[in-house]
Every structure is written in structure tokens, then in C-alpha cells.
Amino acid sequence: MNRDMQEPVNYRSCMQNRELSWLKFNQRVLEEADCPDTPLLERFHFLSIFTSNLDEFFMVRVGSLIDYMLFSPDYYDNKTGMTAAEQLSEIYRACIPLYVLRDGSFARISGELSAAGISYVRMGELRKIEEKLVEDFFAREVMPVLSPQIIDQSHPFPHIGNKQLNIAVTLHQQNNTVFGIIPVPSAVRRVFTVDPSERRFVLVEDVILHFAGRVFEKYRVSEKAVICVTRNADIDTDAGLLDEDTDYRQHMKKILKKRLRLSPVRLEIQGEMSEEAQKYLRSKLGLEKAQVFRSCAPLDLSYCFGLDARLPYDMKRTLLQTPFTPQPSSMVNPDVSIIQQVLRRDILLSYPYESMKPLLNLLREAATDPEVVSIKITLYRIARQSTLAEALIEAAENGKDVTVLMELRARFDEENNIEWAQRLEEAGCQVIYGMDGFKVHSKICLITRRSKGEIQHITQIGTGNYNEKTAKLYTDLAILTSNRNIGADAAAFFMNLSISNLDGSYHDLWVAPANFKESILRLTDGEIAKAKEGRPARIMVKCNSFTDKDIIERFVDASRAGVEIRLVIRGICCLTPQIPGLTENIQIISIVGRFLEHSRIYAFGVGDETRVFIASGDMMTRNTERRVEVACPIYDPNIRKRLLEMIDVMLRDNVKAREQFSDGRYILRTPLGAPALNAQEYFMQQAKDAAAHPDWKNEPAPRNERKFLGWFRRNPKK
């Protein structure tokens, strides 16, 4: 409905707090742990993912809010007006029921796993023969590597490492009461099997907790519990870089060491602990009562992934998803040079449904192609064993000009990036780093060739990292193109980054912070103008999170003008849909499923006039204003049609999609008599069908491709 756009709009009534929206997202992850149609161990995986997500949330988001509260008292959320202290209070309150839900899910999953033949056994549930095995395990493998400590006048309270499990005990000796700490050693295996035939196991922290009295043998133990401290990990990585002589890699190494000792932001307790003991711990850690959370489930559930490898084939079939192998791209002929194919037409790769091999083959081929003169690429997160990085090294060793912009500030991947940066540099690559205050989050690669005296550009732009491991777990898209305008923009992009120019101008690409947000707002205004003229108008977006206040307000304006807006937002979404008179034309769904939804698609328009882009960045302020991002237009009509069909399928998902309503709740859709449609399963089957009947099958290779293939096959370094 086209409304009077002159009416004053209360935009804030359409917005939600970012942090509370994230907690709703993580609850959706937790709900997958209770999905009866998901194999049992996969449900356990979701429980572990929920836990690790919450850990990172406290380390980063809660940590940053505490910093704001202490050092920026005037800070407030620009969407809800909440201060940092108010947000923290709401976060702590919202987390309490999440712990209760997790405990319930863990109990149910543990019970069902036990019935299926995998039993997590508490110490009080051991059989006599198992008690002896555990006692021997403790005496032989655990006790010799423990480093217990009492806290008294001679022994100050120790530093408790971030996310390290510890056993906390209250000890008595005559009239003296002291506190004791036993760090759970990382050198000891976490899972100890007490009965291999029945797959019964205990956790090492439970074993140490049970034998705590033997560790402190001169004392009487009155209470004991497993504890875990979460520390602030939100470090300003640019601090201290004003000195132009600073070695950036060494600076980042110091930052990583500092992270381990930052201030506590949360204390978790598994087991019984008196209020007096909790108060003592809070005083030593500098925490408030609201920052302490009780759990019946183990505080670290990552051991669940190790259980998979211990299962026989028959159990894996019932307890795990049927493995899916990424399929060959139907657009890529494996018997023809990938360079020659991209020079002829654009190619879209869709991970994990399709294999990453065409991109890896492109770089391998470029490394040996005598006509390739340079390769430029941005790297944010790459695999520890990276075929892609090895191809770059080979290219440099073959005399190609290889430039790698390595972003060392990819949170929690810094060490891996530092190691690869050093290896690439030693191999002869030119390695440069991100700019002060701006992470380079773009995923772009430019291959430049000189063929018959003419310069050719092959550009790859993607929505996800150049990481062979996550390409099998995350949904992402990559376009390979020889489009001249895109290639010229990519060349300008790398030139601008090399001279720290964030204000470059681009013809076809959206580049943040230069024109990414501006382009979204401009195309939104175009749809608003169509709606006002009574013409069909539509915006469709698929991304991870949506927090940018300016874009939210413009989408509200578009909805009021009658623009149909369909959003697939996996995680944080600060926009509330379906509010009468404001966002009634906006539909928002979130899909949490087998693969992590990571691709970003932006579409504006209806029918053949629809403009479609894929992007490295979300509609978040950090992406649109404080990171270097790249979005690429899709010009091939068949690829554009394919991407629009992908969004359409996701919008019709009635198995894993949860729809957001005007009260902020997300409700899981159900088929209700209609055929069940799981978008991810649909795309898996579609990829299999396409691989069986590839697009190139009936297309004879041009003569120059057949000639090139002959050379390529004879090349011993292919």
C-alpha cells in the first residue's frame, strides 16, 4: 500500500537491539538440537555449536559492551537507545533461560545416545570394574600432570586462562578454611572410555572433580565444582600502530598473547557451589552476580565431534547425516582449460553443493600459464592446509607477480594467517596487510594475462573465504568472469588498496566503504520510485545479518511505499517486519540447517529488469562503513535467473525456515499439508542432477581451447 511519505515515521518502533537479536539467533541453533528429524549426533553437534557461539558472544560482544560501559559512558545503541549497562543487564537476563534449555537438551540427547549405544557416564554411575579402570587412569595419566594450588597469604589467586576448565574446591584443615584450584590439563585426553564394547565414557574433569580429595590429601573437601572463566577478547588490534616502523606480524603476535589475560566477563559453574564460595570467586575475578551462570551440562561440549570417529559404519549411518560430496560444476568442462572457459563465459560456483576445484584449478593453471603475468588476491580466513595458498606459492616461484593482501585481524584465525603470511612472503609473494581501522573482508582475486599483446583480466569475486574446509560446510557463491569493466574495477581496487585509498571510484563493483552502502540506498530509492508510480517493485536480500540503521530506515520507507521486500537473514536482524503501516510489506525468514548459510545475494527489481549482485559483506554497519567489502553485478542472464530461483526456493522452505513476526518471535514453518521443502536438501539434489547432465556436454570446445588443452596436458606442472 502506497502511504503518505510525508508522515513522520517512528523508525525506532521497527528496530531491535543487535545483541538480543543475536541471542534469538543462537536459540534457533539450540532448537535444532531438539529437531526429531535430525540424526542424533548431528543434534549433539548443534548443542556444541550453540555453546561455542555463546562463548564467542561473551568474549567479543559482551566484552566490548563492558569496555563501552567503563570507557565510553555516553555510548548508546542507535537503534533502541539502550545504554551499554542496559544492554548488558538484558543480555544476562536473556541468557538464564538459554542455560536451562541447554541443560534440558543435553539430558535428552545423552539419554537417547545411551539408548543408541553411546553413554556419557557420571562418576556415581560407574560399575565396580569401571571404577577401578578410572582410578588407574587417574593415578597413571592424570595425577602426575596436575598443578593444584591453594589460595592463602602465601599463594595468591592464580590467573585462570580464558575458557580453561578448572576444579574449584573449598578446603578445611582444623580451624582453617582455604580455597583450592586444579586446572584441567590440556595434555590429558578429555574422553576416557571405560567400556569400549558398550562405548561408555567419562570426562576427565569429572574424574579430577571426583578425586579432588586425593589431590588435596591434607585437607577435608566440603564442596567442589567445575568452573570456567570467559575473558574479554575484543582487542583493539590497531592500537600501538602509529609508529611506522612497527612490524605488523610481531604486533599481532603480542596482541594474541594479550587476549589470554584480558578481564573476565563471565563465570560458569557446573556442580554445587555455595553462595559464599561464589561470592569469593566473584570478588577475585571482578564479576557481578549477574555474570555467573550455573550449568548441569558439561561446560565444554566440543568433545562431541570426537565421538564421530569412534563409531562403526552401521552406527554412523543412523546417528550422522549421509555424507555429501560437493558435485562437479555443471558449467565447467573438466577436459578444457578453465582459463579458456572463463574467457568465453561467466561461471558461477555454489558451495558446498558444487566443488571448489574449478577455482583451485584456475589458480594452478594460472601458476604455469606462460601468458599469466600477475595474480592479486585478498585473504581473510584460509585453511591450515591450503591448496590455494600453495598454488600462489607455485606461481611466485614460477616468476609470476603475486600480490597477497593478508588480513591478519580475522578474529581467532590470526595465528594461522600470520604463519601463511610468512610462508607466502618467503616464497616471493608480495604480502601487504589491511589498513588502520578497516579490516579487508573482501573476497576477490584478479588474474592478469598478456595474450597476443592484449591485456586480459580474469576476476573471481565471492561471498565466502578462500578456505577449502569451510567450502564444504558453508553455503557460498563465487563468480568467475572475464568482463572487462569488472576486471578494470578489480585492478583499480588492488591499486587503491596498495596506496591505502578507500575513496576510489568504481564503474561496476560496489566497494565498501566507498560506494557499497550508497549503491544499496540508491537502488532502494529506485524501487521506491517505481512503487510510487504504481509499477511492480521488489527487493530481495539473502545475507547473514542486518544491522545498518540507514538501510533499515530506507527499507521501512520502501515498505510504506508499497515495495515488496523479502529477506533471508540467518543471524542478527534489527529490523522488525509485518508492523501495520510500517513494515507490513516486509517478510523475514531465517534458515538454520545442515550447512551454515553464508552467501550474500542482493536483488532489486522485477522480471528481466532485476539487478542481481553477490557480495562479501552483509548489511551491517561494520561491513558497509568499517570494512573493505566487494559486491559484483551478475550480467549473465542464466546465472542471474539461477540466483533468483535460489532465493525463491529459500523463501518457500517450510522445513528449516523460521519466520519472524511483528513481536520479534521466530516461528518454525511447517508443511501443513503442502509438500515439504528443505532448501538445502533441494540444492544438494539439484547439484547432483546438474552434474549428471552438465551444461557443457553438448557444446564442442572451440579450436583454440582444444589446442590449449593439448599444451596443458603435456605440461608436467599442470
Q: Which three cell numbers stand for residue 580?
A: 501495520
Least Cα distance to 375 among 387, 388, 357 occurs for: 388
Sequence-distant (≥ 6) Cβ neighbours of residue 241 within 8 angstroms: 248, 251, 436
Q: What's the CA gap between 477 and 594, in Å, rounded?
A: 17
Helix (H) or strand (E) holding 32: helix 18-32
Residue with cell 528449516: 656
Sequence-distant (≥ 6) Cβ neighbours of residue 2 within 8 angstroms: 531, 532, 534, 560, 561, 562
Q: Tell me how crowded residue 699 is: count the other CB atoms within 10 A of its CB.
A: 12
Least Cα distance to 553 among 589, 517, 529 occurs for: 517
Using alpha carbons, list the distances in angstroms from residue 632 to 395, 516, 518, 623. Answer: 26, 10, 15, 15
Residue with cell 546438474: 690
Q: Which three cell numbers stand for residue 611?
A: 539487478
The answer to whether 600 touches 615, Cβ cutoff 8 Å, is: yes
Cis peptide before 513 (omega within 30 of 0): yes
Q: What's the CA gap between 89 and 718, in Å, rounded?
A: 59
Contacts of 696-700 with CB under 8 Å at 24 or more apart are 696/330, 696/331, 696/332, 696/333, 696/336, 696/341, 699/333
* First-to-last C-alpha distance (Å) of the chain: 59
Sequence-distant (≥ 6) Cβ neighbours of residue 471 within 8 angstroms: 326, 351, 352, 356, 464
- Residue 340 phi/psi, 5-degree rounding, is -65, -35
Q: What's the CA gap between 112 and 119, in Å, rounded?
A: 9
Please indicate whether residue 210 is annotated as part of the active site. no
**Strand residues in 452-522 grouped as ranges (E):** 454-462, 474-481, 510-512
Q: Which three cell numbers stand for residue 121?
A: 557416564
Least Cα distance to 510 among 609, 407, 381, 627 occurs for: 627
State the catalytic residue, choosing from 45, 441, 457, 598.
441
> Residue 554: is it exposed, middle or buried by C-beta count within 10 angstroms (0-12/13-18/19+)?
buried
Q: DSSP string of 542-571?
A: EES-B--HHHHHHHHHHHHHT-EEEEEESS
Q: Which three cell numbers stand for residue 621?
A: 554497519
Residue with cell 586425593: 214
Q: What's the CA gap between 262 and 127, in Å, rounded?
A: 43
Evaluated on CA atoms 414, 415, 417, 422, the torsion sign reads positive
Q: What's the CA gap between 170 and 222, in Å, rounded?
A: 6
Q: Output b/e per residue, 627-665; b: 16+ Cβ within 10 A.
A: bbbbbbbbbbeebbebbbebbebbbebbbbbbbbeeeee
Q: What's the CA gap between 137 and 202, in Å, rounded?
A: 11
Q: What is the maximum alpha-carbon separation in the chain?
A: 94
Q: What is the edge-to-edge ordering of all strands in the sheet holding 165-173? A: 149-151, 176-183, 165-173, 220-231, 264-271, 292-295
The answer to whether 640 touches 555, Cβ cutoff 8 Å, is: no
Active site residues: 441
